[in-house]
Chain A
Amino acid sequence: DAGVTQSPTHLIKTRGQQVTLRCSPKSGHDTVSWYQQALGQGPQFIFQYYEEEERQRGNFPDRFSGHQFPNYSSELNVNALLLGDSALYLCASSSQQGSQPQHFGDGTRLSIL
C-alpha cells in the first residue's frame, strides 16, 4: 500500500520562474493539503483540495495555485518565484470518511537562486 508520493524530490529554479510540484495521495484518501516549511520553522498551511476544488486557503498570495485531478492527485503551482519561496513543500492526504489523520509525503525541496 503506497503512501503519499511527491515529485520531484529536489528542484532548483531562478527568480521569476514558475514551478509545478506533484502529489499522489495515499490509497483510499480523497483530500490533499499542501504546506510550506521554511528552514527552522513548522509547516505552514497553503491550501486544501477536495472534490477537485480548493476548500480552504492559508495566508499565501495568488502566486500559489493548485489543482486536484479526478484520481485525487494534486499539483501545486508557484509563479514568479521569489528567493523567499525556497522551502520544503509537503503534501498531506486524508480521508473525508469520519475524523481521520493526515499522512505526509517526503516533500519537495525547492531552492531559488
Chain B
Amino acid sequence: GIQVEQSPPDLILQEGANSTLRCNFSDSVNNLQWFHQNPWGQLINLFYIPSGTKQNGRLSATTVATERYSLLYISSSQTTDSGVYFCAVRNTGGFKTIFGAGTRLFVKA
C-alpha cells in the first residue's frame, strides 16, 4: 500500500520563527489533507490540497503531485501552533486514507 513519510519528526521553534514541514508519499493520490492535532486530540483541518498551492493566514501549503510530496509552511510561529501536524493521503481509485506519523512541533515563548 501507499507509504507516507513526514519530516522532521520533531521540531522546536522560538516564537516568531518560520518552518517547513514535509510529506512524501509513494504513489499517486487524489486526496491530500494537512491537519493540526491539538493537545486535546482534536484534528483541525488546515488544507485540502491534492495539488497546487493554498494560503490561509500564516499558513500555506504546496503539493507537487507529480513528484509525490507536499510542504506545509508556518510563518511567524506562535505558541498556539504547538501540537502534531499530520499529512493524510488517499490513493487514486481507493477509499482508504493513510496518515503519516506526524511532525511534533513545540513553539517556545
Closest residue to B48 on the A side, CB-wise?
Answer: A101
Closest residue to B31 on the A side, CB-wise?
Answer: A99
**In which size bucket is the chain B interface?**
20 to 34
Q: Write the A40-75 contact mask toward B (1 if CB under 8 angstroms, else 0).
A: 011111001010000110100000000000000000
- B41 → chain A, closest Cβ, in Å? 5
9-residue interface stretch from A16-24, A78-86, A103-111: A103-111
Chain A interface secondary structure, helix, strand, loop or mixed?
A: strand
Q: Which residues of A in the span 24-43 have a Cβ within 8 Å of any Cβ on B?
A: 33, 35, 37, 41-43
**In which size bucket is the chain A interface?**
20 to 34
**Are A42's CB and B45's CB within 8 A?**
no
- The complex places the Cα of A106 from the Cα of B94 at a distance, in Å, of 25
**Are B96's CB and A107's CB within 8 A?**
no
Given contacts A58-B96, A104-B42, 8 further A-B contacts (CB under 8 A): A35-B99, A42-B99, A44-B99, A45-B97, A101-B31, A101-B45, A102-B88, A104-B43
The 4 A-B pairs at the shortest CB distance, nearest first, are namely A101-B48, A42-B99, A104-B43, A56-B95
- Give the A-binding residues of B (Cβ under 8 A): 30-31, 33, 35, 40-43, 45, 48, 50, 86, 88, 94-102
28 contacts between A and B (CB under 8 A): A33-B95, A37-B41, A41-B101, A42-B101, A42-B102, A43-B43, A45-B96, A45-B97, A45-B98, A48-B95, A48-B96, A50-B95, A56-B94, A56-B95, A90-B43, A92-B97, A99-B30, A101-B31, A101-B33, A102-B33, A102-B97, A103-B45, A104-B35, A104-B45, A106-B40, A106-B42, A107-B41, A109-B41
